[in-house]
Structure 1
Amino acid sequence: MVAHTVVFRVPQWRNDENLARLSERVRMVPLPPRTEHDLRAEAREVRLLEGNGNHCDYLVHLALVTKLPDAEIARYYEFVTVEGVDGAKLSGTVYVNPSGSWREGFKGVIVEFFDGGHEAGFDLRCH
C-alpha cells in the first residue's frame, strides 16, 4: 500500500499543488472595470486535455459577468499574463456567452488559462 501511494499518489499531489498555484495566480489578476466573478461556474483541472498522452495539461476556467463590450473584455485579457506551471507567460482566451447572463444588464464571460505539455510522471490522469 505504501508503494502504491509513493508511486501513484505523490505525482498527483504534486500536480494538484501546481494547479492550485496556477489557479491562485489567475485569481490574483485584477478584474477589468464593470466586471465581477461568477463563482458558480469556475473550474480548474489537471489531466490529459489535448494530444495523445503522457503529459499533463493544466486549465483554469475563470467565470465572469461583465457590462463591457465583447472586444474590450477580449482585449483586456489578451494583454494580461500570468506565470504558468514552469514559468512561461500565459494569456487568457475569452469566450463570451451570446445569450447574456443570469444577471440583468450583464453578459457571461469565460476566460481560460491553458498550460499544456508538462511531465506526467506516474499521474494516471495524464496518460
Structure 2
Amino acid sequence: MTGFFLRVAIVALGLWLAAKIFVGLNFDGPGTLLAAALLLGIVNAVIRPVAVILTLPLTLVTLGLFLIVINAGMLALVAWMLSGFQISSFWTAVGGSLIVSLTSWLASGLIGNSGRVEIISWR
C-alpha cells in the first residue's frame, strides 16, 4: 500500500513540475493536484490499454511515437473529468505528459516493487 501512495505522490510531483513549466496547465490547489494524480493512475490502468490496442496499427507505422499522443489524450481526459484542472491546448497536454512520464520513469528507477527506495550497487 505504501508503494501505491508513493507512486501517486510521484505523479503529483510530475504534474506540479509540468504546471510550473507550462503556462496553460493549471490546478486550483494541492487537493486537486493529488486528485488528478490519482485519477491519472486510474485512467492509465483502465482506459489507456484499450486505446493502445485500438491504435496499434498507427503506433506501429509511427514507430511508437503515437504513444506520446495517447499519453497526452489521457492527461486531457483527466482534465476534462476533474474540475479545477485545466489544460489550454493539445501541445500543453503533450508537454505535460512528457514531463509526467519522465518524472515517473526516473523515480521508478529508485523504487522497487515493494514500494521501498532501493540502492543499486555494482560489483
Q: Which has the higher contact order (CA 8 A, sep 6+)?
A: 2
Common topology (TM > 0.5):
no
User: Going by fraction, where is strand more abundant, 1 or 2?
Assistant: 1
Q: TM-score range by the shorter chain?
A: 0.3 to 0.5
Q: Normalising by structure 1, what TM-score? A: 0.34
Task: Give 1 or 2 for the bigger CA radius of gyration.
Answer: 1
